[in-house]
């Protein structure tokens, strides 16, 4: 069974499912969108990804389960290579790789409650055609209870700008509340850095 939820960020619901699928490339980069949020806050996923060979085309169409006791389980789906010329290549999703990954997911997680973004549709994991992607999902997912979160994934700069704009809005009305917001943001960033060892944002 497949259910689609529109305009809701999957990241805020990762703990509600048995497994969360994450579309990614074969270059070990998790720098934008939901990939960034997972990399920052669930470092065992990024560490597992770094154990794979950088840029290896053989990774395309494969999946990698990332688990840690007491934490959500993620499954990296390698569905695209790098897009080094987005001005020339808008759609860089490997539809064949997406199909292979979903067929594996359908076997590995039979009967499980699984969540995912619309794999391959984001500009960060393929920028592919939504209709074609949904058709592949419907053809491949038959034995998994799948919830697809279809929403606009924000870049790192968009996320940071949004946070800063909210802080500035509060500053106009209440300086004390503004300073408290900034302190809280910096404290959370320091905690993330301690957790993942390399990035605050």
Which tokens hold the place of 51? 């154990």
Question: In the prediction, which pLDDT does 82 show?
Answer: 82
Q: Is the pLDDT of residue 28 over 80?
A: yes
Decide: 32 and 70 in contact? Cβ < 8 Å.
no
User: What would the mean pLDDT of 123-133 be, rounded to a whole number?
Assistant: 97
> What is residue 62's three-state secondary structure?
coil
Is a pLDDT exceeding 80 seen at residue 54?
A: yes
Compute how many other C-beta atoms are within 10 angstroms of the C-beta atom of residue 12.
Answer: 10
* Residue pair 26/57 in contact by the 8 Å Cβ criterion: yes
Per-residue model confidence (pLDDT) at position 86: 77
CATH class label, 2-153 = alpha beta
102 CB-contact burial (10 Å; exposed 0-12 / middle 13-18 / buried 19+): buried
Distant-in-sequence, close-in-space partners of 183: CB < 8 Å, separation ≥ 6: none
**Mean pLDDT across the stretch 86-104?**
94
**pTM confidence score:** 0.94
| Res 92: pLDDT | 96
Domain residue spans of the chain: 2-153, 158-196
Question: Token digits for 180?
Answer: 């408290």
DSSP letter (8 states) at residue 70: T
Question: What stretches of the chain show up as alpha helix (H) in DSSP?
Answer: 33-41, 43-50, 95-108, 130-140, 156-173, 175-196
pLDDT digits (tens, 9 = 90+) for 67-77: 999 999 999 99
């Amino acid at each position: 069974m497949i259910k689609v939820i529109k305009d809701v960020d999957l990241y805020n619901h990762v703990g509600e499912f048995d497994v969360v699928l994450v579309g990614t490339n074969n270059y070990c980069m998790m720098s934008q969108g939901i990939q960034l949020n997972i990399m920052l806050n669930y470092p065992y996923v990024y560490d597992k990804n770094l154990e794979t060979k950088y840029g290896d085309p053989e990774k395309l169409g494969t999946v990698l389960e990332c688990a840690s006791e007491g934490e959500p389980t993620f499954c990296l789906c390698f569905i695209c290579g790098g897009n080094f010329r987005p001005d020339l290549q808008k759609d860089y999703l490997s539809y064949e790789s997406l199909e292979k990954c979903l067929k594996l997911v359908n076997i590995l997680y039979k009967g499980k409650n699984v969540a995912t973004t619309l794999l391959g549709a984001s500009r960060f994991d393929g920028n592919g055609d939504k209709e074609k992607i949904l058709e592949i999902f419907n053809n491949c997912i038959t034995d998994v209870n799948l919830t697809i979160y279809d929403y606009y994934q924000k870049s790192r700069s968009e996320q940071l700008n949004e946070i800063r704009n909210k802080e500035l809005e509060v500053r106009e009305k209440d300086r004390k509340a503004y300073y408290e917001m900034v302190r809280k943001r910096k404290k959370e960033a320091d905690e993330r850095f301690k957790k993942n060892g390399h990035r605050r944002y």
